[in-house]
Amino acid sequence: MSRVYNFSAGPSALPEQVLHQAQAELMEWRDSGMSVMEMSHRGKFFSIIAEELESDLRALLSIPDNYKVLFMQGGATAQFSFIPQNILRGKTKACYINTGAWSEKAIQDAQNYCEVVVSASSETSNFTTIPDPAGWVLDEQAAYLHYTSNETIHGVEFSDIPESHGLPLVSDMSSNILSRKFDVSRYGLIYAGAQKNMGPSGVTVVIVRDDLIGVVDKQVPPVFNYAEQAKNHSMLNTPATYNWYLVGLVLKWLIKQGGVEAIEQRNIAKADLLYQTIDQSSLYRNPVESSCRSRMNVPFILADQNLDKAFLAEAEANGLFELKGHRSVGGMRASIYNAMPEEGVRALCDFMAEFERTH
């Protein structure tokens, strides 16, 4: 078997060490006599997995004690609806910053539950920048301010935590959680699908401040209710047990790498290498304003779009997969999450240089 470099935006590459450990433990986890896939989520063995999972995530992100950590299903997409159902707390408005496709989807779903105030938008720039915070219009009567910290499709990332001016700050961190250091206490709620930086699809992490939960409409099903999920340790129904286990392995791998601080330095080096290759080229171009370029998702366009098919075919022949850009924007996209080694990025850059030379 020859593994390729997988630049998929998600589900994305997992650390090889994690895959090897999962393979070794497939038939029996520790001395349990059974696979994790066979365990009762109420049993003593899975309880250990669940406790270590939350403990490791709290340690990696320095999550304060007054925050609940939930492991839910339905992806970040389900959270677009769960968030207003859970934290409006009797208010009728919520503020959203629109910086790309995932922001738009969050706005669209939230409109089913409240009046959405679009406090700022970069739509007129084709989502190639972040609106100047000085021009954001925040409604002080809103329940919260929502933003997407990294737009997977458009390749735009916030480099700093925005000022919410007293509103609880809510962030979709699906594609950059655990890739850089940040202060959890600045947020009211953070959510992230696991399938980019944390593990396989099927698990969504929600980190929410205690005072924001517990006031919901009676029509909200308990399985969607953060307070009820917290009371039941995210096990109101049978969770995706094997996926929890795999997320746990990724967290332990990250701890061994030196934690979030260490992985952030690697991510900076990888992104700098790829952007340098693009910027020094006459064939490739990244459309995003340099101040808000994503470290995780790097879109680029070929000067001659007639070369797109050849680029993708030759890339795969060189073991470089999943480089086609999202269908809504075209071009190419390299997703270089935590699990992507620097060697993979160097291999891509070498290929890009050779492709430009020969074409």
Catalytic status, residue 102: yes
Task: Check 172, 244, 253, 270 and give the catalytic one.
Answer: 172
CB-count exposure of residue 136 (10 Å: 0-12, 13-18, 19+): middle
Catalytic status, residue 172: yes
Structure tokens at 348: 């891509």
- For β-strands 297-302 and 284-285, DSSP reports them as antiparallel
Task: Check 102, 109, 253, 270 and give the catalytic one.
Answer: 102
Instruction: Give φ, ψ of 330 to 5 degrees.
Output: 75, -165
End-to-end CA distance of the chain: 31
Sign of the CA dihedral running 148, 152, 154, 156: positive
Cα-to-chain-centroid distance, residue 302? 26
Q: Is residue 320 a contact partner of residue 327, using CB atoms and an 8 Å limit?
A: no
H or E element that contains 51: helix 44-61
What's the full length of the chain, in residues? Answer: 359
The label of the residue with tokens 């769960």 reads 82
Catalytic status, residue 196: yes
Distance CA 89, CA 318 (A): 53
Task: Check 29, 56, 68, 196 and give the catalytic one.
Answer: 196
Q: Is residue 156 a contact partner of residue 292, using CB atoms and an 8 Å limit?
A: yes
Q: Which of 133, 144, 146 is nearest to 103 (CA)?
A: 146
Question: So which residues are the catalytic ones?
Answer: 102, 172, 196
